[in-house]
Amino acid sequence: ELNLADTKKWIELFVKKVEANTSELNELDTAIGDGDHGSNMARGMAAVTDALSKKEPADLAELYKTVAFAMIQKVGGASGPLYGTAFLDMSKQAKETTDLAKLVQVGCDGLKRRGQSDVGMKTMIDVWQPVAESLKSDDFSKNVVEDALNATKDMVATKGRASYLEEKSKGHLDPGSQSSAYLFEALLEVLG
């Protein structure tokens, strides 16, 4: 469970983390992609901040929808529509339930559908799915996030730009998994 005020704090902390680590995300993406993941995400975060400052969301569904639209409209690349779909599906789900485990799983399912991808393909799903599972079993922690992120290092990418490198994609963290790790580290800080 996360109320509207805390969910807003979650998103604001996510924005801060991405803004503080934009060049790190670009560097990760330079190794196995086209070097723009940090810049893409930072553009999205600026749009999120802008949208939230213009209109205070009335409920959880509206908040997630605001994030989704900012990501879809401003991020571009593969990650924009992916994060956008995850947050849009969470927005729809938030009309039915405020259960965080359920919301994150629905977001993850949205990533899978939109990306035609699943766990083990060295994408952000490799962070979202373990986080969703740990929320369900009530053992969500920093370790869960870190272990999930670090596990992407030895994976061979089979989706996204990194998949063009085949075996050479091994030995590098997945950039989208790193930005998703910031998202869930921000959540941990709010859950306290």
Nearest residue to ligand ADP, by Cβ distance, number only: 176
**Binder to ligand ADP among 43, 145, 177, 184 (CB under 6 A)?**
177
Q: Return contacts of 166-171, CB within 8 angstroms, 24+ apart.
A: 168/32, 169/32, 169/122
State the CB neighbour count (10 A cutoff) for residue 164. Answer: 11
Does residue 111 bind ligand ADP (CB under 6 A)?
yes
Does residue 91 bind ligand ADP (CB under 6 A)?
no
Shorter beta-carbon distance to Mg ion: residue 142 or 153: 153
Does residue 40 bind ligand ADP (CB under 6 A)?
yes
107 binds, among ligand ADP, Mg ion, none (CB under 5 to 8 A by kind): none
**Binder to ligand ADP among 44, 77, 110, 130 (CB under 6 A)?**
77
Site for Mg ion in 68-97 (CB under 5 A): 77
Rounded to a whole number of angstroms, the minimum distance from the CB of residue 28 to Mg ion is 9
Does residue 123 bind ligand ADP (CB under 6 A)?
yes
d(CA 177, CA 37): 11
Shorter beta-carbon distance to Mg ion: residue 77 or 84: 77
Site for Mg ion in 27-46 (CB under 5 A): 29, 33-34, 36-37
Contacting residues toward Mg ion, per CB under 5 A:
29, 33-34, 36-37, 77
